[in-house]
Amino acid sequence: MHGRLKFAAWLAALYCAALGLIAATLVMVEVGMPAQDQAVVSRMFEERAPLLAFVGGLLLLACGGFVAWLFKRYVTAPRALAEQTRVVLANPGYRVEAAAAPELSALAAEINRLAGAYHGVQRDMEAKIAESGSRLEEERNRLAALMSDLSQGVLLCNAEGRILLYNEQARTLFSSAAAPIGLGRSVFGLLDREEIVHALDKLQYALDQGTEAPSTRFITALAARGLVRVQMAPFLAAGGRVGGFVLALEDVTRFVGQELQRRQLLQALSTGVRAPVANIRATVENMVSFPEMDPAQRQRFARIIAEESINLSKSIDQALSEYADAIKASMALEDMRAADLVTVAKRRIGALLRVDADDVDQNLWLRVDSFALVQSLGYLAWRLREEHAVDAVRLRARARETFAELDLVWSAAPLSSEVISLWESQPMQVAAEQTPLTLKDVLERHGGEMWYQRDEPSGASWFRFLLPLGEAAPQPSRRRLPAESRPEYYDFDLFQRAGTQREFDDQPLDELAYTVFDTETTGLEPSAGDEIISLGAVRIVNGRLLKHEVYEQLVNPQRPLNRESSRIHGIDARLLVSQPTLGAVLPEFHRFCEDTVLVAHNAAFDMRFLELKEAATGIRFEQPVLDTLLLSAVVHPSLQDHSLEAIAERLGVRVIGRHTALGDALLTGEILLKLFPLLAESGISTLKQAREASQRTYHARLRY
């Protein structure tokens, strides 16, 4: 608009100047001329007026054309060149183009040369930054690795309860919580607010009292799955205030259950045993105290004793069988795969003599104190070598009823029972390494047994350990990720931010949390019944695209797909039939978007689909919305193509995985991040400014 106005003004000025000049000439010629001459001149002009007007018009047209040509060549083109040059600032790989005038082409070439130099400098600088950043990154990765190797879940929160860091275990623990776990999200969505506030108060009090490293624990129920034990410790910000807190989380559902069982077992045993013993004792004492009682009475008492003895055995059996698990379970024992135990044992025994393992049940789990058990196996192997010159042993393990058999097998060298009982009761020793524990202690701790067995025909001897079976540990989804794609489970920069709850509008763009999303649909007309078939979203927190905090869901549109759209998104209609409907998906997606600004490319289109469902689902997306298409137009008003691909190419974003909702959402997110500095150059740095500029551009684009 601006350009056209300027052009019109130029032209008008030119015309006015030309006409004014001619008029002035005429006036000057006529002034001082005799009257008859004036009449002659007037006549001459009057007679030739059409011709003069024609030539004059032609002249003006030519002038206009020339001005237009000049304008295009030397005004519009330089402007486009300037915009392109600004792109170079954002993406040094970009090169400008100016076809119009040779002078401008030369300028463009110079700009490109400068751009090349700038690119080089930029690359050098980036390399240097990357180098110094890599050490920090390495440390962070080491921390992340450490966190992911902990068996406990860890959450690190700032004083407001926003999550700065979490590990995979915490994520698993909260996998069925009402709110999803995520950086910058509130911990109160996961754990009871009152409980945490209370714990924080206690910690603050302890700090005020001058306690050095206070921590507090509590056990709290998770909505969906049992009990979790939380250990909470503060860390201090400047001024001794609590700057945030660390939560170490442990799923204690099983332990608490076992503890309860053990208590019940003791209860059942003592109560069940007392009554029959009382009866027997009273009866026997009667018989002893009154030896003169008549035979019938005596007989009657004897029968009571027999009866009560049976009751006694029964109640013991019953208690033990009812609470068998409680007896087996011990906090000190861990569930371990037999194959893993054998591997560790092999390493230990291998230092003494030849050892191999065959016949190990791969699905067998033991409940063991692995250290003590491996020590025991090593001890036996050592004594076999020292005292019986055994030079090779074999390990095997398999299930037997409700126990596991672990055998240490060797050939020849039968053992006497004296030797075995000696080995069992002496403190275990391997070379100079001695422990106060005996084999008996270890067996007792496991509630297990061990004996010596020999197969005469084959000459094989073995020690057989009978050990409690363990439970297969749930396989955590712990795919080892290569370092560069390690999950972005931490964000310490969130520390720097106070008052995240502030009104969105006044916040700097690069500090806001965003949910960038995209939809795939059955067609382009939501009001004509087209439906969403796929939703994909990714979060941006503190200027980082969190590629591991994504949302991806196919949706059953409950209507057939047309072939054309199928070709774009490549989703098979048959796949969608088994998916949830949008009504079921939206509440979940709404929770994912909580507390963030929504972003989409051509957001109006996607928002329309969501808004049409408001009445049916009652789910309203009330947060502010940004549109990367409009933001791109704000930054580059003279460029025409604002498609996702064109912007990506301009800003140097690599395009992969297009036409899946998540793929496009990721691309849109990267573009948004690249747009921030460009917006800042145009003086747009807060959400409010971005929204207002978008609105102006939107109206402007509508007019064309």
Q: Among residues 204 and 311, whose Cβ is nearest to another protein?
A: 311
Name the minimum Å distance from CB 553 to another protein.
54
User: Which residues, 6 or more positions from 593, have their beta carbon under 8 angstroms from its beta carbon?
Assistant: 515, 517, 537, 621, 623
Span interacting with another protein, options 166-174, 296-304, 519-527, 606-614, rule CB under 8 A: 296-304
Q: Among residues 295 and 436, whose Cβ is nearest to another protein?
A: 295
Return phi, psi of residue 221, to 5°: -90, 140
Q: Among residues 262 and 544, whose Cβ is nearest to another protein?
A: 262
Name the minimum Å distance from CB 310 to another protein.
11
The answer to whether 271 contacts another protein (rule: CB under 8 A) is yes
- Asked if 611 and 528 count as a contact pair (C-beta separation under 8 A), the reply is no
The answer to whether 297 contacts another protein (rule: CB under 8 A) is yes
Q: Among residues 307 and 325, whose Cβ is nearest to another protein?
A: 307
Name the minimum Å distance from CB 319 to another protein.
13
Give 338-372 as a DSSP string. Answer: HHHHHHHHHHHHHTTSEEEEEEE-TT-EEEE-HHH
Name the minimum Å distance from CB 290 to another protein.
6
The answer to whether 359 contacts another protein (rule: CB under 8 A) is no
Span interacting with another protein, options 91-99, 285-293, 334-342, 536-544, rule CB under 8 A: 285-293
Name the minimum Å distance from CB 252 to another protein.
25
Q: How far apart are CA 380 and CA 422, in angstroms?
A: 12
Name the minimum Å distance from CB 617 to another protein.
54
Chosen residue from 94, 174, 245, 301 binding another protein by CB under 8 A = 301
Sheet holding 227-236, edge to edge: 163-166, 153-158, 242-251, 227-236, 216-221
The answer to whether 279 contacts another protein (rule: CB under 8 A) is yes
Chosen residue from 215, 231, 261, 286 binding another protein by CB under 8 A = 286
Helix, strand, or coil here: 450?
strand
Give residue 274's identity as a one-letter amino acid code: R
Q: How far apart are CA 372 and CA 209, in angstroms?
A: 43
Chosen residue from 6, 281, 502, 696 binding another protein by CB under 8 A = 281
Span interacting with another protein, options 182-190, 268-276, 374-382, 526-534, rule CB under 8 A: 268-276
Chosen residue from 282, 483, 524, 604 binding another protein by CB under 8 A = 282
Q: Among residues 63 and 305, whose Cβ is nearest to another protein?
A: 305
Q: Distance from CA of residue 138 to its chain's centroid?
A: 19
Q: At what angle do helices 35-47 and 49-71 cross, to 10 degrees?
A: 70
The answer to whether 313 contacts another protein (rule: CB under 8 A) is no
x/- letters, 213..252, toward another protein (CB under 8 A): ----------------------------------------
Any long-range contacts for 451-454 (C-beta under 8 Å, 24+ apart)?
452/415, 452/417, 452/420, 454/414
Adjacent-strand bridge partners of 154: 248
The answer to whether 289 contacts another protein (rule: CB under 8 A) is yes
Q: Among residues 52 and 304, whose Cβ is nearest to another protein?
A: 304
The answer to whether 300 contacts another protein (rule: CB under 8 A) is yes
Span interacting with another protein, options 58-66, 293-301, 354-362, 637-645, rule CB under 8 A: 293-301
Span interacting with another protein, options 80-88, 286-294, 343-351, 555-563, rule CB under 8 A: 286-294
- Asked if 661 and 638 count as a contact pair (C-beta separation under 8 A), the reply is no
Q: Among residues 308 and 549, whose Cβ is nearest to another protein?
A: 308
The answer to whether 343 contacts another protein (rule: CB under 8 A) is no
Chosen residue from 84, 85, 283, 668 binding another protein by CB under 8 A = 283
Q: Among residues 295 and 683, whose Cβ is nearest to another protein?
A: 295
Span interacting with another protein, options 176-184, 251-259, 266-274, 566-574, rule CB under 8 A: 266-274
What's the count of helices (H) and strands (E) in the chain, helices before strands?
23, 19
Residues belonging to the active site:
659
The answer to whether 290 contacts another protein (rule: CB under 8 A) is yes
**Dihedral over Cα of 668, 674, 677, 683: its sign:** negative
Chosen residue from 18, 304, 327, 415 binding another protein by CB under 8 A = 304
Q: Among residues 267 and 434, whose Cβ is nearest to another protein?
A: 267
Q: How far apart are CA 288 and CA 292, in angstroms?
A: 9
Q: At what angle do helices 370-388 and 338-350 cross, to 10 degrees?
A: 40
**Dihedral over Cα of 123, 135, 183, 497: its sign:** negative
Q: Among residues 123 and 263, whose Cβ is nearest to another protein?
A: 263
Name the minimum Å distance from CB 305 to another protein.
9
Closest CA to 92 of 124, 122, 113: 122
User: Which residues, 6 or more positions from 100, have their beta carbon under 8 angstroms from its beta carbon?
Assistant: 72, 73, 77
Sheet holding 460-468, edge to edge: 354-360, 392-400, 403-411, 460-468, 449-455
Q: How far apart are CA 547 and CA 673, in angstroms?
A: 14
Span interacting with another protein, options 267-275, 402-410, 442-450, 611-619, rule CB under 8 A: 267-275
Closest CA to 529 of 599, 597, 609: 609
Q: How far apart are CA 135 and CA 130, in angstroms?
A: 9
Q: Among residues 177 and 293, whose Cβ is nearest to another protein?
A: 293
Chosen residue from 83, 192, 259, 307 binding another protein by CB under 8 A = 307
Name the minimum Å distance from CB 286 to another protein.
5
User: Which residues, 6 or more positions from 671, have their beta carbon under 8 angstroms from its beta carbon?
Assistant: 601, 628, 632, 644, 647, 648, 651, 653
- Rounded to whole angstroms, what are the CA distances from 188 to 158, 177, 305, 549? 12, 11, 62, 18
Name the minimum Å distance from CB 227 to another protein.
25
**Residue 77, exposed/middle/buried by CB under 10 A (0-12, 13-18, 19+)?**
buried
Name the minimum Å distance from CB 265 to another protein.
14
The answer to whether 275 contacts another protein (rule: CB under 8 A) is yes
Give residue 686's identity as a one-letter amino acid code: T
DSSP label at residue 72? I
Chosen residue from 129, 219, 278, 473 binding another protein by CB under 8 A = 278
Name the minimum Å distance from CB 259 to another protein.
17
Closest CA to 428 of 420, 414, 438, 419: 438
Give residue 503's identity as a one-letter amino acid code: E
Span interacting with another protein, options 26-34, 280-288, 319-327, 334-342, rule CB under 8 A: 280-288
The answer to whether 285 contacts another protein (rule: CB under 8 A) is yes
Name the minimum Å distance from CB 271 to another protein.
5
- Asked if 595 and 513 count as a contact pair (C-beta separation under 8 A), the reply is yes
- Rounded to whole angstroms, what are the CA distances from 300 to 296, 313, 578? 6, 21, 73
Name the minimum Å distance from CB 261 to another protein.
17
Q: Among residues 284 and 399, whose Cβ is nearest to another protein?
A: 284
Number of residues counted as binding another protein (CB under 8 A): 23
The answer to whether 280 contacts another protein (rule: CB under 8 A) is yes
- Asked if 367 and 335 count as a contact pair (C-beta separation under 8 A), the reply is yes
**Residue 36, exposed/middle/buried by CB under 10 A (0-12, 13-18, 19+)?**
exposed
Chosen residue from 168, 308, 405, 670 binding another protein by CB under 8 A = 308
Applying CB under 8 A, which residues contact another protein?
A: 270-272, 274-275, 277-283, 285-286, 289-290, 293, 297, 300-301, 304, 307-308
